[in-house]
């Protein structure tokens, strides 16, 4: 049984998926949704997903953005997709990225790399925990007491202000429409 496949085999294929034939039949405000569903159905059929379960197909965020780029009414006519099958799950990603998405992906990766570097720097700067002395505890308690007192004073002042205000009758913000005199 040298030719049998194990479920962990990784199969990678590229497809050009025609979308127009499917989304042209739907109403304009559903076309991009139909294009996404068409991609999933095509991959389920060609990658041999059992029961054609669309939940087993995961689309890359850049593929999704490519379909939605021109809005809900004008999805692309066709799309080139790289499908990777790992076990039962199929991951689909955009094979050829347009310039706008290349720029966006590069910016996102740069942001992720910077966050990872910052995280590594923080791990390296493992410092000894500060010793909390009694003086620091007393200072913290005093600060809390001062904040509570200030809050009480502000509440008293606000109550005093509202007590001495004159009550304004509620008038409409704009005049009501009146019928024209005959």
Task: CATH number of the domain at 74, please.
Answer: 3.10.440.10
In the 8-state DSSP scheme, what is residue 54?
Answer: G
Q: Which residue has the higher pLDDT, 26 or 182?
A: 26
Predicted model pTM: 0.59
Structure tokens that stand for 90 in this block: 């199929």
Question: 3-state class of 21 per DSSP?
Answer: helix
Question: Does a structural domain hold residue 72?
Answer: yes
Question: Does a structural domain hold residue 155?
Answer: no
Domain count, the chain: 1
- What range defines the domain where residue 84 resides? 10-100
For the stretch 16-31, pLDDT in tens is 999 999 999 999 999 9
Kindly tell me the sign of the dihedral angle through the C-alpha atoms of 125, 129, 134, 140: positive
Q: Which spans in 24-126 are helix H? A: 31-46, 61-68, 99-124
Question: Does a structural domain hold residue 61?
Answer: yes
Q: How many CB atoms lie within 10 A of CB 174?
A: 6
pLDDT of residue 1: 42
Region 74-99: what's the mean pLDDT? 93
pLDDT at residue 170 above 70?
Answer: no
Structure tokens that stand for 75 in this block: 């999805």
pLDDT at residue 165 above 80?
Answer: no
User: Which residues sit opposite 78 in a β-bridge?
Assistant: 18
pLDDT averaged over the chain?
A: 85
For the stretch 53-66, pLDDT in tens is 899 999 999 999 99
């Amino acid at each position: 049984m040298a030719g049998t496949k194990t479920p962990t085999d990784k199969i990678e294929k590229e497809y050009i998926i025609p979308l127009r034939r499917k989304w042209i039949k739907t109403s304009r405000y559903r076309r991009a949704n139909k294009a996404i569903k068409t991609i999933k159905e095509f991959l389920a059929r060609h990658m041999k997903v059992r029961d054609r379960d669309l939940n087993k197909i995961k689309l890359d965020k850049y593929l999704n953005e490519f379909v939605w780029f021109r809005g809900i009414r004008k999805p692309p006519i066709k799309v080139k997709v790289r499908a990777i099958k790992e076990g039962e799950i199929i991951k689909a990603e955009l094979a050829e990225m347009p310039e706008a998405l290349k720029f966006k992906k590069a910016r996102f990766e740069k942001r992720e790399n910077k966050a990872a570097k910052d995280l590594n720097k923080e791990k390296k700067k493992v410092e000894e925990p500060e010793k909390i002395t009694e003086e620091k505890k007393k200072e913290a308690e005093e600060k809390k007491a001062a904040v509570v007192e200030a809050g009480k004073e502000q509440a008293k002042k606000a109550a005093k202000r509202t007590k001495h205000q004159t009550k304004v009758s509620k008038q409409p913000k704009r005049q009501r429409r009146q019928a024209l005199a005959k």
